[in-house]
Amino acid sequence: MNIKELSKRLPPWTKRLKWPGIVIISLTLLALISFLVIIFGGRFVVDEEDLILDEMTTVETEEGEVIERIYTKNRKVVPISSIPEHVQDAFIAIEDGRFREHSGVDFKGIMRAVYKDIIAMKKVEGASTITQQLAKNLFLSNDKTWMRKTKEVMAAIYLERNYTKDEILELYLNRIYFGEGTYGIEAASQHYFQQSVDELSVAQGALLAAMPKAPNTYSPFENPEAAEQRRNIVLSRMYDVGSISAEVMKRMQGSTLAVERAEESADTWSNSYVDLVIDEAAEEYHISRDELKRGGYRIVVEMDPTIQRIAAEEMKNGEFVPGTKGPVEGAFTLMEHDSGALVAVVGGRDFKHGDFNRVKAQRPPASVIKPLAVYGPAMMSGEYDPFSLLSDEQQVFGKKDWKPSNHDDQYDGQVSMYQALIESKNVSAVWLLDKIGIDYAKDYLDKLGLTTDDKGLAIALGGLSEGYTPFQLAEAYGTFPQGGTKKDSYTIRQIFDRHDEVIHEHEVNETEVFDAQTSWYMTEMLRTTVEEGTAKAGTYNKALAGKTGTNQNLDVWFTGYTPQYAGALWMGYDRTGNEGAELEGSSVYPTRLMKSILTRIDQQKNLQTAFEKPEGVESLPEPVDLPVITNARGDLDLTGLALLRGTISWSAPKDERIVYRIFREEDGEDVKVGEVTGKGEFKVSAFSIFDQTKYYIVPYDPLTGKEGRPSNTVTLEWDL
């Protein structure tokens, strides 16, 4: 029997049920499919990436002091374990009393809400659960359509099937908006109460729970009365569900809001430094600015806030600005030379985020380069020392007939390296660079990180097609107090991810450049430069070595170091070449400013009073100051054997290292008859009382091999 025959034998009434049956079966299948889609289709609505909340990055010191926050949304994600139970209970009580019981959608709550809406003839109660609210906020738009609502239910069920209640509540509390640009429970706690979420009281937690429904309406700053009423409703709900006792409810409802608005500061003291941190994160660790805004990193930096504030304040001080035409700018950097850690950075006299950070600008270094490109390499050659004599005569150099001049247009013929550095002699520096060779000097510049494509002798004077940044010069000068070892500067010590795991850590990068003896000689010469030479402007009473530089009064520098820090300070214009763009007062201003900054740092940090000489190096002798002798005289007297003897005497300074060479004029020639060291007297044998031979004295410096000016001439006469 086939199906066709069987259908003919069925009672007639069954045929009447055919189409209704098909409809019922179809509807049942459709309902089943819809149910399965709602139950299992949430995976197509939920994007797991959206579960990773945007979180602010903090820049902080090693001690945990937060310097600045970098964010698109002001949010700090905290684990549910950090959120007190009474705070959790407050949100559950007001938003979703059956949160711990339902599976994402509260059908009892829906029926209750519908009933209340019908009785009131208007919408008086919502039925969305915390899970639904989270799903809507994370994955969906605010469109009020059945499709959007269906997707919300699907996503909520998916979340409930794949995450624990604590995980859902943690996401919710970290996601919601609390007004005034604040997202998440931790940021809200800090914003409204100036404390962490784990310190919130019951009343404070209730106030925060009152806000998400309408953050502006219930803002405790803008609408304190409405905020208090809403808070008290939350406390009542907490009592209704058994989270708190009646006594606690009454006491908390009678408390003040106790909110505290943080002082809004327009101070930009840290902006230069943080700007550099952002750049370093991108260049060294490949973390972009956008990623920092949402990635929830914790960046531990080397800034010393005390020093940073001092530097930012002093840079604004008009007392240290050269008299000029137009606005003068500046840049300052200070690093610990034993590690390279940057403790302070100021990128402009009034720098704020978005400005050009001048610590990254390349500027002609002028005479600041002399110890680095000329004198240091020369001593490393073994052919020169601080008392080697250098030419100080104006002369022509090179094929282009270049004739450099000294800044004061004064020339001494010959000077020691010591004197040439202290007085910043241009001709001597160029002459010495010519002797040691440009390529040889550039090898040292490369080691110092001061690479240049320039090939001329103008390198000796810092006349470069492209200059150097304050960082580069601070690093280079920091080589000397470190015995010749250069440390690369840096701002970031460690970077932690949002799970507080270290993902990046600074590694010291160092280069051996000079030997310890050369470095110590340079320290002693640069210390004297600060005390007696071109860098003596201003006042600082502790140990400081350094050098000034002036580039045609367009760029002025002071670069130097203390036993702890190396720093560079530049002043000038963002744009040069304009008529009247010259600075007045040259390098006096950055020198005074640097010393003022160090003086204030010393008041807070008690800096060292002297440089400590490394073991195994020789001290640099004090230079010999050859006297000009104008009071020489000659006397005759009788010895014990009745022989005539002459005495030549003169006033000798206290420096017992000076050698006095005695000459006599004989037949038109000058003949050396002897010498004494450290004394103002010389004995001469005489054979006739009528001897009219003329004598004179020439002081001699044994350190440099340089002779001084001859004294007045004398003859031997009786002292009557």
The residues near 555 (Cβ < 8 Å, ≥ 6 apart) are 363, 364, 366, 467, 549, 570, 571, 572, 576
Q: Is residue 216 part of a domain?
A: yes
Asked if residue 27 has pLDDT above 70, the reply is no
Say which of 367, 391, 519, 711 is annotated catalytic: 367
CATH number at residue 89: 1.10.3810.10
Domain boundary among 605, 621, 648: 605
638-663 per-position pLDDT tens digit: 665 556 778 899 999 999 999 999 99
127-176 per-position pLDDT tens digit: 588 888 888 887 766 666 666 677 777 777 778 888 899 999 999 999 99
Global confidence as pTM: 0.85
CATH number at residue 420: 3.40.710.10
Bridge partners (DSSP) of residue 525 are: none
Say which of 95, 329, 423, 524 is annotated catalytic: 95
Rounded CA separation 591/570 (Å): 10
Asked if residue 637 has pLDDT above 70, the reply is yes
Domain count along the chain: 4
Q: Is residue 58 part of a domain?
A: no
Strand ranges for 389-490 from DSSP E? 389-392, 413-416, 485-487
Residue 393 DSSP class: S
Domain boundary among 232, 253, 274: 253
The residues near 29 (Cβ < 8 Å, ≥ 6 apart) are none
Q: Which domain holds residue 18?
A: 3-39
Indicate whether 479 and 581 sit together in one domain.
yes
Identify whether 367 is a catalytic site residue. Answer: yes
Rounded CA separation 463/402 (Å): 13
Q: Is residue 702 part of a domain?
A: yes
Indicate whether 699 and 658 sit together in one domain.
yes
The DSSP annotation for 573-638 comes to: -SS--STT---SSTTHHHHHHHHHHHHHHHHHH---SSPPPPTT-PPPPPPP--------EEEEEE
- Of the ranges 307-311, 348-352, 498-502, the best mean pLDDT one: 307-311
Identify whether 65 is a catalytic site residue. Answer: no
585-609 per-position pLDDT tens digit: 678 999 999 999 999 999 999 999 9
Asked if residue 115 has pLDDT above 70, the reply is no
Indicate whether 537 and 581 sit together in one domain.
yes
Indicate whether 498 and 570 sit together in one domain.
yes
Indicate whether 581 and 644 sit together in one domain.
no
Residue of 344, 273, 337 lying closest to 600 (CA atoms) = 344
Indicate whether 118 and 12 sit together in one domain.
no
Q: Is residue 317 part of a domain?
A: no
C-alpha 602, offset from chain centre? 20
Indicate whether 343 and 402 sit together in one domain.
yes
Residue of 415, 425, 420 lying closest to 461 (CA atoms) = 425
* Number of alpha carbons in the 13 Å side-chain half-sphere of residue 174: 23
Asked if residue 42 has pLDDT above 50, the reply is no
Residue of 708, 701, 707, 709 lying closest to 387 (CA atoms) = 701
Domain boundary among 253, 272, 304: 253
Q: Is residue 312 part of a domain?
A: no
C-alpha 360, offset from chain centre? 11
Looking at residue 36, its pLDDT comes to: 47
Q: Is residue 101 part of a domain?
A: yes
Rounded CA separation 544/610 (Å): 8
Indicate whether 13 and 85 sit together in one domain.
no
Indicate whether 13 and 151 sit together in one domain.
no
Indicate whether 386 and 535 sit together in one domain.
yes
Asked if residue 17 has pLDDT above 90, the reply is no
Q: Is residue 342 part of a domain?
A: yes
Indicate whether 236 and 371 sit together in one domain.
no
Sign of dihedral through CA atoms 304, 310, 315, 316? positive
Q: Is residue 617 part of a domain?
A: no
**Mean pLDDT value across residues 320-325:** 69
Looking at residue 104, its pLDDT comes to: 74
Indicate whether 445 and 378 sit together in one domain.
yes
